[in-house]
Amino acid sequence: MVMDINEIREYLPHRYPFLLVDRVTELTLGEAIVAYKNVSINEPFFNGHFPHHPIMPGVLVVEALAQACGILGFKTVNKLPADGYVYYLVASDNVRFKRPVMPGDQLVLEARVERTKRGIWKFACRATVDDGLVCEADITCAERKVA
């Protein structure tokens, strides 16, 4: 284990029900991250998406990937939300969904830094369940001082 939920909460400003990373299992500063989200039937979005066939909304899969990107960015530059910084999701390109994410799945989130310049980070991302591709996307995040 590289980061547990307590350390993740130091590096992400998100809280329930929008904190979508449960654990980080691999992290190479400035290069890549592997994390996961345990998807439970108790997630609030399953009440309406869809009651008789629950699937995790695709936008939340992308958000989970972006949160993993944010952790990698924060850890790389050694900054924290408590210091007044935030990573905004500013673009998601080439997003493709291959299969739905269901309750009981462990969603593995992988992000690799493609490039960074003046606080703008581009990542190549993929999400998998049981080694099967769920989603792939190119995600851009921007580091900003907010406080």
53 in active site: no
Dihedral pair phi/psi, residue 82, rounded to 5°: -65, -20
**Is there a contact between 11 and 74 (Cβ–Cβ < 8 Å)?**
yes
User: Nearest-CA neighbor of 136 among 126, 123, 121?
Assistant: 126
User: Nearest-CA neighbor of 70 among 89, 93, 96?
Assistant: 89
Please tell me which residue in 14, 49, 52, 53 is annotated as part of the active site. Answer: 49
In the block, tokens 């008789």 appear at 52
Just list the catalytic residues.
49
